[in-house]
Amino acid sequence: MSDYDTVSAEVEHEEEIPEDHPRYQDLLTRHRIENGVEKGITHLQGMHAEGRGSAFDYLLGEETIPSADEAERVAAAHLLLADQPVLSINGNVAALVPSEMVDLADATGADLEVNLFNRTPERIEAIASHLREHGAEDVKGLEADARIPRLDHQRAKVDADGIYDADVVVVPLEDGDRAEALEEMGKTEIVIDLNPLSRSPQVADVPIVDNIIRAVPNMTDHARDLADAGEADLETVVEEFDREAALEAAEERIRNGL
Ligand code: ATP
């Protein structure tokens, strides 16, 4: 038995997971989701979503493939060009990348909005305070004073001055119905999802097929890199993007390892 076999998913602190473990990112992700469930941030269903994501990440080689890196740069350009960009935070996102989402919001001038599939006042409040503990100053999603058309009552709730009014939205690990409804509202939609065949990346203007743990810090790096670019240059980055090619490249990697 190797030393690594003794690293269980039940470590108390993530520092106990050795960084040179061959499955380090996967163990870290699992640990953060479990912690999220314990803290009342993540719904139990979030564990199933994570399991699906983990299988796709394994097939992708657990790395940011070149087409995903390009999509992350394009997403950064969209956010910098936007009038009202919003980053949507659900229970998995809050558990996995709270400070990374705060950094992305800072780098792009975007708002953070809590937006849950299984919405309860307790979870909304738990996620908002979790984000504040990780440096967020203003967290939207608590008002829930507007509705996304054509969705049932609970899943439709958003802030009028947040997602409802936004021109560009980042919706990581989003449910397909809501991604479709946001697309129908005419928003520029950036989806982070490890499954290129899932409905959310299929309807996105910018599908990012990458683990959110890698994708968000990389989007922030691209945003910082593009911070001094002029509007025309940012628009060129956006216009040159081919969403179909990005989806195909991810599927090709997953199916054939290419
Ligand atoms: P649909 O979009 O068709 O409704 P689904 O039912 O599989 O698909 P959900 O369970 O609502 O989707 O969302 C979970 C999605 O998030 C899955 O596609 C999964 O691959 C993806 N996912 C899970 N963990 C991660 C992660 N760490 N990074 C990126 N994507 C992830």
Ligand 1 near 36 CB (within 6 A)? no
Q: Ligand 1 centre from 200 Cα, in Å?
A: 8
* Helix or strand holding residue 247 (H, E): helix 243-256
Nearest to 79 by CA among 225, 248, 252, 257: 225
Q: Give pLDDT, residue 2.
A: 46
pTM of the prediction? 0.94
Ligand 1 near 192 CB (within 6 A)? yes
SS3 20: coil
Q: Give pLDDT, residue 8.
A: 55
Q: Give pLDDT, residue 69.
A: 98
Is the model's pLDDT at 6 over the cut of 80?
A: no
User: Measuring from atom 18 of ligand 1, which residue has the nearest CA?
Assistant: 195
Nearest to 220 by CA among 72, 28, 84, 63: 72
Ligand 1 near 67 CB (within 6 A)? no
Q: Which residues contact 142 (CB under 8 A, 6 or more apart)?
A: 114, 124, 125, 128, 159
Largest pairwise CA distance in the chain: 57
Q: Give pLDDT, residue 154.
A: 81
pLDDT tens track for 90-101: 999 999 999 999
Q: Ligand 1 centre from 193 Cα, in Å?
A: 6
Calculate mean pLDDT across residues 168-197.
96
Ligand 1 near 162 CB (within 6 A)? no
* Helix or strand holding residue 190 (H, E): strand 188-192
CA atoms within 13 A on the CB side of 80: 27
Calculate mean pLDDT across residues 241-249.
98
Distance of alpha carbon 229 from the chain centroid:
24
Site to substitute for ligand 1 among 200, 208, 211, 218, most atoms within 8 A of C-beta: 200
Ligand 1 near 203 CB (within 6 A)? no
Q: Tell me the two tokens of residue 144.
A: 């829930």
Q: Which residues of 199-217 are buried (b: 16+ CB within 10 A; e: fewer)?
A: bbbbbbbbbbbbbbbbbbb
Ligand 1 near 194 CB (within 6 A)? yes
Q: Give pLDDT, residue 1.
A: 41
Q: What DSSP assignment string belongs to 118-179?
A: S--HHHHHHHHHHHHHTT-S-EE-SS--EE-TTS-HHHHEE-TTTTTT-SEEEEET--HHHH
Q: Give pLDDT, residue 7.
A: 52
Calculate mean pLDDT across residues 131-153.
94
> Which residue type does 33 have?
I
Nearest to 172 by CA among 192, 190, 189, 188: 192
34 C-beta neighbours (distance < 10 Å), count: 17
CA atoms within 13 A on the CB side of 162: 24
Q: Which residues contact 159 (CB under 8 A, 6 or more apart)?
A: 113, 140, 141, 142, 143, 144, 145, 146
Is the model's pLDDT at 3 over the cut of 60?
A: no
Is the model's pLDDT at 47 over the cut of 60?
A: yes
Mean pLDDT, the chain, whole residue set: 94
What letter would DSSP give residue 84? S
